[in-house]
Amino acid sequence: MKSFFHKILAFTLSFAVLFSTTAFAADMHFCCDKLVDLAVFSKVKSCDEKVKQQDKKPTKECSIGQKDCCSNQTFIKQGEDNVKKVASEFSLENFVVLSTFIYTYINLFEGLELKTVPFINYDPPWIEKDMLVLHETFLI
């Protein structure tokens, strides 16, 4: 469960770094203060076809045919280029430490043989006195 949350956190942080360093622009086309079209990586389409249809029906309200009624807005999100880059210097001392760590880590998990009993040649200690009788402790 803990590793699952670590994976989610790592994915979220990597997405945050990707999103903060990427630049994009969004174009929005408004007619009568209503959003008509939205384009993220391209230019928005104007409402020329709707203007031709609207010319047949004149109204007193804000219509698509009026010149000042339609507007375009652009939202630009600049990318961040000041992300600190890791400078790695790999010297002979670092290589020795790294190789020693890898060697000991790999050998740490070597298992014993299946039928190895390390105390097979040792006898139990001699009991000089029977401690249960000496302390008068008996199981009932």
The three-class DSSP label of residue 20 is helix
Which whole-number Å values give the CA distances from 112 to 90, 101, 127, in the listed order?
A: 36, 21, 32
DSSP state of 139: -
**What pLDDT, in 10s, does the model give residues 8-23?**
999 999 988 887 788 8
**Model confidence pTM above 0.75:** no
Q: Which residue has the higher pLDDT, 62 or 77?
A: 77
Instruction: Kindly state the tokens that stand for 76.
Output: 């630009």
